[in-house]
């Protein structure tokens, strides 16, 4: 399966390069490791491409939530995206996951698509990545 996914991704990247003349797709990750084992226990993964930062996955174990670590991880990822020239960021979360967390970090609601279980939705969000003051 990873090889199949890579084949599709590579073909789409080639198409995008041919159409835009831009070859800037890069992965972006901010990882949290267990201090004892150095195993990854959480963090954020995404990618930058064509001036946009896409957040794909973001998870912190419950015991690491509520102390500002999540906000710091997101800030670091956004700063790296800015350094790469991204003007905006996009993500989706589920209504029972973290839309309120993202709103507190300056993200705006774009729309919502219902999903299961009933009453639940995929929440699409965006954030402008204008240069931070002092940077």
Place of tokens 């995929």: 122
Peptide bond between residue 117 and the one before it cis (omega within 30 degrees of 0): yes
Say whether pLDDT at 135 is over 80.
Answer: no
pTM of the model: 0.88
CA 7: distance to chain centroid?
A: 22
Q: What is the mean pLDDT of residues 27-52?
A: 97
Instruction: Give pLDDT tens digits for 12-34.
Output: 889 988 999 888 899 999 999 99
Q: What is the pLDDT of residue 132?
A: 57
pLDDT digits (tens, 9 = 90+) for 61-107: 999 999 999 999 999 999 999 999 999 999 999 999 999 999 999 99
Average pLDDT for 113-126: 97
Element counts in the chain: helices (H) and strands (E): 3, 6
Residue 112: φ, ψ to 5°: -140, 140
């Amino acid at each position: 399966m990873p090889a199949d996914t890579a084949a599709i991704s590579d073909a789409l990247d080639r198409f995008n390069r041919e159409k835009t003349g831009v070859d800037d797709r890069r992965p972006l990750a901010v990882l949290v490791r267990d201090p004892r084992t150095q195993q990854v226990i959480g963090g954020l993964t995404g990618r930058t491409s064509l001036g946009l930062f896409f957040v794909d996955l973001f998870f912190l174990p419950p015991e690491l939530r509520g102390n500002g670590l999540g906000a710091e991880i997101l800030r670091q990822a956004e700063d790296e995206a800015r350094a790469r020239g991204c003007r905006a960021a996009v993500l989706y979360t589920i209504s029972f996951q973290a839309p309120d967390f993202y709103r507190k970090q300056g993200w705006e609601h774009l729309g919502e698509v219902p999903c299961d279980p009933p009453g639940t939705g995929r929440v699409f969000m965006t954030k402008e990545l204008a240069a931070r003051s002092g940077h």
